[in-house]
């Protein structure tokens, strides 16, 4: 009897045939945990009231972004954010029914866990990895105790990754566009996505997908663009935005004057571009014979796939989450809610290194610790940066194209 129990536990943890049983248990357990958190941990108001004030002004007919402002600042999110929170405004009695809003975000959190399980299944991540997903104190807080809009962008991004893993790229680009319409941070995935689309479809199809992305953004923002296009673009997609030093999680060890300086921002941008280009040149096209051959094929035959190696689900998940991680490392400022951008990706990312299990767990523990230190300190910021950089270096020398190897036979068949 005892041996059969141990055998069943082993199957749940390691046998891919039992993946969805393990996933179901994790999702159910986390759903119960989330309800307990909402029941016993007090809600903290940060931006929810401001979201609702913005919608009040929108419902009164205001469409100029310059004039839409609230207790914690102006409207600085794209049109998708407005449409979602208009619906939430209706459901929650103009935001006054916070308990109902928490239940909605609780369901959203459980959906995010289910989507991550689906992504991990297609990337052939070991079953036991799912046990790590419910462990983040900060992530639960972001969803059900703070009600940040990052949660909606995350859901659309996760659904888009799953669609791209399934080669449903037309669906994926629409979902990705919805994520971008909620929060500009989704743009961090774009470099990796361009590599995937170019390898999978070629130049013409990649351009078509980018046009769909642009058109979707335009349609969602139509009323704002008609009212004042310049105001909308400047507020919703302001790449030069300067954040307050007191809220930074990642650069506390830098003095405020340096943090706010244009030179610092330009240096981070240069570092971001340099690392992205390095991964593009030396890592993300290794299975295709190098980036030169991919570009040559893509430009010579723009209507056909530019890659030779299969763009499989593991490759898609690894490249997209690595692209996102690079952007996070070089972000000008990270606020506490931004942890949701990659918290559920950490188990996958650490497993794309060659580090021993204990080092992988230590990296995730250090990152979780740093995001839970409030206010941030030079030590917590330094630890966060170090852990993120070590993880990225581990991916560089580990499995930057995913763990699923491409055989010579597969390449010859291409």
**Which among 313, 319, 293, 315 has a CA at the least distance from the CA of 305?**
293
* Six token digits for residue 289: 């014979």
What's the pLDDT tens digit per position in 89-112? 999 999 999 999 999 999 999 999
Which pLDDT does position 406 carry in this prediction? 53
Which pLDDT does position 244 carry in this prediction? 86
Q: What is the mean pLDDT of the chain?
A: 95
Which pLDDT does position 241 carry in this prediction? 81
pTM: 0.96
What's the rounded Cα separation, in Å, for the pair 137 and 37? 10
- CA-to-CA separations, 160 to 102, 156, 177, in angstroms, rounded: 24, 6, 9
Q: Are 158 and 179 in contact (CB under 8 A)?
A: no
Mean pLDDT of 27-49: 97
Q: Is 61 left (phi over 0), alpha (psi -120 to 50) or beta?
A: left
Residue 412: band (very low, low, confident or very high) from pLDDT cuts 50, 70, 90: very low
Work out whether the CA dihedral 355, 280, 186, 73 comes out positive or negative: positive
As a whole number of Å, the end-to-end CA separation of the chain is 51
What's the rounded Cα separation, in Å, for the pair 304 and 298? 7
* Six token digits for residue 245: 């030093």
| Helix residue spans in 15-78 (DSSP H) | 19-40, 48-59
Which pLDDT does position 1 carry in this prediction? 62
- CA-to-CA separations, 175 to 59, 75, 141, in angstroms, rounded: 26, 22, 25
pLDDT beyond 70 at 408: no
Output the furthest CA–CA distance in the chain (Å, rounded). Answer: 71
Cis amide linkage into residue 285, ω under 30° from 0: no
**Which among 192, 156, 161 has a CA at the least distance from the CA of 272?**
192
Residue 303: CB atoms within 10 Å: 10
DSSP letter, residue 243: P
What's the pLDDT tens digit per position in 292-340? 999 999 999 999 999 999 999 999 999 999 999 999 999 999 999 999 9
Percent of residues, the chain, with pLDDT higher than 90: 93
Residue 404: band (very low, low, confident or very high) from pLDDT cuts 50, 70, 90: confident
What's the pLDDT tens digit per position in 172-224? 999 999 999 999 999 999 999 999 999 999 999 999 999 999 999 999 999 99
Work out whether the CA dihedral 366, 372, 373, 377 comes out positive or negative: positive
What's the rounded Cα separation, in Å, for the pair 119 and 163? 9
pLDDT beyond 50 at 413: no
pLDDT beyond 60 at 33: yes
Residue 239: band (very low, low, confident or very high) from pLDDT cuts 50, 70, 90: confident
pLDDT beyond 60 at 358: yes
Mean pLDDT of 145-166: 98
Q: Are 328 and 334 in contact (CB under 8 A)?
A: yes
* Six token digits for residue 185: 């941070």
What's the rounded Cα separation, in Å, for the pair 287 and 324? 21
């Amino acid at each position: 009897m005892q041996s059969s129990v141990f055998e069943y536990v082993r199957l749940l943890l390691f046998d891919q045939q039992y993946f969805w049983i393990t996933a179901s248990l994790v999702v159910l357990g986390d759903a119960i945990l989330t309800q307990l958190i909402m029941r016993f941990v007090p809600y903290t108001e940060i931006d929810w009231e401001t979201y609702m004030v913005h919608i009040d002004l929108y419902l009164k007919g205001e469409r100029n972004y310059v004039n839409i402002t609230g207790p914690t600042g102006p409207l600085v999110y794209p049109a998708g954010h407005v449409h979602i929170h208009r619906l939430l405004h209706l459901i929650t009695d103009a935001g006054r029914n916070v308990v109902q809003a928490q239940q909605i975000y609780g369901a959203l959190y459980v959906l995010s866990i289910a989507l991550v399980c689906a992504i991990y299944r297609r990337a052939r991540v070991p079953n036991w990895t799912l046990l790590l997903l419910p462990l983040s104190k900060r992530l639960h807080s972001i969803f059900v105790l703070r009600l940040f809009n990052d949660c909606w962008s995350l859901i659309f991004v996760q659904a888009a990754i799953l669609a791209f893993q399934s080669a449903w790229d037309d669906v994926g680009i629409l979902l990705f566009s919805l994520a971008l319409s909620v929060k500009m941070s989704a743009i961090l995935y774009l470099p990796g996505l361009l590599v995937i689309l170019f390898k999978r479809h070629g130049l013409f199809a990649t351009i078509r997908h980018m046009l769909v992305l642009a058109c979707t953004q335009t349609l969602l923002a139509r009323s704002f663009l008609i009212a004042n296009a310049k105001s909308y673009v400047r507020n919703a997609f302001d790449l030069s935005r300067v954040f307050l030093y007191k809220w930074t999680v990642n650069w506390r060890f830098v003095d405020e004057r340096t943090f706010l300086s244009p030179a610092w921002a330009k240096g981070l941008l240069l570092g971001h571009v340099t690392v992205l280009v390095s991964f593009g040149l030396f890592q993300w096209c290794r299975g295709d014979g190098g980036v030169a051959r991919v570009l040559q094929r893509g430009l010579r035959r723009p209507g056909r796939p530019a890659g030779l190696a299969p763009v499989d689900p593991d490759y898609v998940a690894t490249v997209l989450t690595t692209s996102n991680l690079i952007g996070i490392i070089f972000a000008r400022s990270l606020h506490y809610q931004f942890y949701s951008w990659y918290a559920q990706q950490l188990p996958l990312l650490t497993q794309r290194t060659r580090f021993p299990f204990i080092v992988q767990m230590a990296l995730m523990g250090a990152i979780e610790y740093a995001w839970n230190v409030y206010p941030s300190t030079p030590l917590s910021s330094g630890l966060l940066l170090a852990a993120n950089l070590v993880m990225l270096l581990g991916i560089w020398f580990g499995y930057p194209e995913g763990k699923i190897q491409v055989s010579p036979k597969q390449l010859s068949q291409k």
